[in-house]
Amino acid sequence: MSADYSFVADAMKQTVPWVKTVGVEFLEVTADRVVAELPDREDLRNHVGGPHAAMMFGVAETASGAVVLAAFSSHMDKATPLVVRSEIAYKKLARGPLRAEAVLGRPAADVVAELAAGTRPEFPVGVTITNAEGVTTGEMTVVWTLRPNR
């Protein structure tokens, strides 16, 4: 029996207003992988007609945050997830709707064990951004931490 992560999309739209504003949708959500989609809208485009770089960054970071929420939702009473740093590489001119696939880079159990031991764990989330044809247009790594609640 698999866990139900249907709450993640609604939680992201309620707690991160930008997600709702630009219309990010969550196509797949599991404890270690999220696929989010950014629609193709004229008001989100750049000077060459593709999604603005900020939109690419935003959908990738949003997907990473959604996988963090899914992976660690049962620990939010003990810790607050925060981005430590991120790096993005724009690989190819993007056009049309974009998908961002975020994958947790460390086993959640290892991260939780560090948190339980009193440390502030850091962990990467790798994100691949693709266009409607499945061509990779960007790659991003977001390093997250779980800051213990005091």
Domains of the chain, start order: 7-148 (3.10.129.10)
Residue whose tokens read 């247009």: 137
In 1-69 the beta strands, taken as DSSP E runs, fall at: 25-29, 33-38
| Local confidence pLDDT in tens for the 150 residues of the chain | 468 899 999 999 999 999 999 999 999 999 999 999 999 999 999 899 889 999 999 999 999 999 999 999 999 999 999 999 999 999 999 999 999 999 999 999 999 999 999 999 999 999 999 999 999 999 999 999 999 998
The whole-angstrom separation of Cα 50 and Cα 96 is 7
- Half-sphere exposure at residue 91, Cβ-oriented, CA atoms within 13 angstroms: 13
